[in-house]
Chains A and B, each alone.
Chain A
Amino acid sequence: MKKTQKLTEEEVVHMAKLAGLTLTPKEVKKFQKQLSEVLDYIEILKKVKTKGVESTSQVTGLESVFREDKVAGPSLSQKEVLSGSKSTHNGMFKTKAIFE
């Protein structure tokens, strides 16, 4: 396959940052190549004329699915909800500080 530069290394680093992923410099190089190959493959869509074609997001045609505005049933207890967390405080999830 021809060498592809569809995606730059800087873009790979940027995507990783946006998605909360950390990559080593070696991984950046590997993903740059692999993701560029996939993006090259996707280029094939440029051949399809789509002017005026509606997009499909809900494939069985459902629209505005509502339910009655009342509590559906019992929900989980606070204890259950917190049971999977490694870091809680006073019955709440403890997160990292957002502001310095």
Chain B
Amino acid sequence: MELHQLTIKEAQERLRTKKFSSLELVKSCLGRIKKLDSKINAFITVCEKEALEGAKKADKIISHQSPVISHQSLLGIPIAVKDIFCTKGIKTTAGSKVLEDYIPVYDSTVVKRLKDVGAIILGKTNMDAWAHGSSGENSDFGATRNPWDFEYVPGGSSSGSAAALAADMALLATGTDTGGSIRLPASFCSLVGLKPTYGRVSRYGIIAMASSLDSIGHFTKNITDSAIILNITAGQDSYDATTPRVPVPDYTKNLKKGIKGLKIGIPKEYFIKGLNKEMEKKVKETIKRLEKLGARLVNISLPHTEYALAVYYIIQPSEVSSNLARYDGIRFGFSRDRFADEARRRIMLGTYALSAGYYEAYYLKAMQVRSLIKKDFDEAFKKVDVLMAPVSPTLPFKLGEKVNDPLQMYLSDIFTVTANLAGIPGLSIPIGFIPSASSGQALPVGIQILGPQFSEEILFQVGYAYEQETKWYKQKLNL
């Protein structure tokens, strides 16, 4: 096994016991980037010099410390950061030419927390500009390719983060999920992707897309790593008033609790016509497998599901039009002439929905239906502990397949936007591979586990129980 293929937990233990150095680990990841990124285009910026310096510093600290205790849990671990997180002194573009030369003078809270525990930033990852997109193709810096098959999209908007981790270019990649931008790419790239509860992780210093929906999460190779990272990023932040004082448990503590007697709801509205048949079969097999592990299956209805995408495509562009109004090219970045098509579509759509005479018909109506969608989940979680559903209706699609039809692209998010509207957490986990109809190439499939607000611990328990049975993350790309 090569160093870049390790999980965070494996690397932590081996760095601490000095099996190898941080410099060797960082060099191994940088080597992957050099070898593959001209084809995959996962990074917008690579900070090679700074990363190597950081590794040497980490090694110095490690050489002085006991092999038993580490005070900094990610000391010497190389990570990739989505280019929407402000990083002090490192260019942050949000995937847009408007911010092509923007160098923040402060760190986002998540980046600060990761740096404080010793993580080393390898670079900033590619993404759909302003996080608008489901494929990565809306990046102003070129599309990212799916490492499992370069003809296919990695999913978006956190396209570069997912591709970088799937290709073992880093041990962790951060992401944001406003309507599925972590869960969809995680499922397209065979990764664990966590969208936490709204407000569980601070949004401070992350370029805002739709402020009532934006959730800050991450991609990891397995469940244990996902819990390790949430332990670091979760919690109240005085710079983001939407982070409540809800206690942060040790998410790694009860991973092995098992799922005996756990009630899993199967929402019938997520198994509709148009869902890829083979994916449906895989998703159902996965749920059956959990039943064998002791879970109880319950059929559930979330009656307002069919309205979720329409609600999302009012609320989200409305908030986008407001958030993107600040980019005037005066204080930083370039002028508004540089906004590309997708941002312009959403700005105009939002401006229209919020304009005089239309506000009640569109925005207010959407906010009311949002309440009904949330209530569906509240009712469901009185009967079950978690829900399990497909992440998207289709397998990864080919580059270019949906770019000229925005509405078709929007439909990729039909199963993910609901969690953002209800503010609940969602965990996307790999459940295997299906050969694509056109090329026969095996493409990854995922499933999402949804729970009540602040139930991340239970989602990890379910994911962990399944992962022990299958260990899809051990299936490595041959690149």
Contact = CB atoms under 8 A, between A and B. Distances in A.
B20 to A, nearest CB: 38
B372 A48 contact: yes
Interface in A77-99: 80-81, 83-87, 93-95
Interface string B337-357: 101000011011101100100
Contacts of B103: 83-84
Interface stretch (B5-13, B112-120, B294-302, B360-368): B360-368
Nearest to B354: A18
A93 B372 contact: no
A81 B103 CA distance: 11
A38 B217 CA distance: 29
Contacts of B406: 34, 37-38
Contacts of A48: 304, 307, 365, 369, 372
A22 to B, nearest CB: 6
A22 B311 CA distance: 28
Nearest to A66: B241
B374 interface: yes
A81 to B, nearest CB: 7
A31 B372 contact: no
Nearest to A17: B351
B330 interface: yes
Interface in B144-158: none
Nearest to A52: B368
Contact of A55 (B105, B198, B368): B368
A37 B407 contact: yes
A6 B336 CA distance: 26
Contact of B352 (A11, A43, A54): A11
Nearest to B336: A20
Contacts of A67: 238
Contacts, number: 140
A39 B238 CA distance: 38
B63 interface: no
A71 interface: no
Interface residues of A, number: 48
B331 A45 contact: no
Mostly helix, strand, loop or mixed at chain B's interface?
helix
Given A44-B307, A81-B105, A19 B348 contact: yes
B301 to A, nearest CB: 16
Contact of B333 (A37, A38, A59, A84): A84
B314 interface: yes
A15 B348 contact: yes
Contacts of A11: 352
A69 to B, nearest CB: 13
A12 B337 CA distance: 16
A30 B368 CA distance: 31
B422 interface: yes
B212 A57 contact: yes
Nearest to A64: B241
Nearest to B407: A37
A60 B244 contact: yes
B32 to A, nearest CB: 32
Interface string A34-50: 11011101111101101
Nearest to A77: B105
B198 A44 contact: no
A37 B313 CA distance: 12
B212 A59 contact: yes
B371 A54 contact: yes
Given A38-B407, A42-B310, A42-B313, A31 B367 contact: no
Q: Which of the listed residues A60, A93, A94 has the most CB atoms from chain B within 10 Å of its own CB?
A: A60
A7 B314 CA distance: 15
Nearest to A95: B330
Contact of A45 (B242, B311, B336, B423): B311
Contact of B242 (A43, A60, A94): A60
B370 interface: yes
Nearest to B347: A19
B78 interface: no
Contacts of A95: 330
Contacts of A93: 330-331
A35 B407 CA distance: 9
A62 B241 contact: yes
Interface of B: 102-103, 105-106, 197-199, 212, 238, 241-242, 244, 304, 306-307, 309-311, 313-314, 321, 325, 328-333, 336-337, 339, 344-345, 347-349, 351-352, 355, 362, 364-372, 374, 406-407, 410, 421-423, 453
Given A56-B374, A84-B331, 4 more contacts: A56-B370, A62-B244, A81-B331, A87-B330
Interface of A: 7, 11-12, 15-16, 18-23, 31, 34-35, 37-39, 41-45, 47-48, 50, 53-60, 62, 65, 67, 72, 76, 80-81, 83-87, 93-95
21 contacts: A12-B348, A15-B348, A20-B325, A20-B328, A21-B347, A34-B345, A38-B406, A48-B304, A50-B368, A53-B372, A54-B371, A55-B364, A56-B370, A56-B371, A59-B423, A60-B197, A60-B199, A84-B331, A85-B330, A85-B332, A93-B331
